[in-house]
């Protein structure tokens, strides 16, 4: 832990944290859209209603990853 690395500790941890949080985001949104496609395969008439809730769910899950992005951005400068 030389001074050269500890002075950039905030930046290193921010980058690592962001990469880790995107793993969970990818799995979450993938699950949502997988069940959307299965739902349409079973009953194609429900496309409108299912599409609405798919997008709502995707926005909520992405919101959590974006909180993490903002915190990482603050960690770069704080």
By CB under 8 A, name the binding residues for another protein.
Answer: 52, 55-56, 59-60, 62-63, 66-67, 69-70, 73, 77
Q: From the CB of 70, what's the least distance to another protein, in Å?
A: 5
Report the residue number, 27 or 60, with the smaller CB distance to another protein: 60
Closest CB 33 distance from another protein, rounded Å: 15
The token pair at 32 is 């949502």
d(CA 46, CA 4): 58
């Amino acid at each position: 832990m030389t001074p050269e690395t500890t002075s950039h500790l905030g930046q290193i941890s921010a980058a690592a944290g962001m990469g880790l949080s995107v793993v969970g985001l990818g799995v979450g949104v993938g699950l949502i859209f997988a069940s959307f496609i299965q739902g349409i395969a079973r009953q194609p008439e429900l496309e409108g209603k299912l599409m609405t809730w798919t997008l709502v769910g995707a926005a909520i899950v992405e919101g959590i990853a974006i909180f993490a992005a903002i915190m990482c951005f603050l960690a770069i400068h704080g």
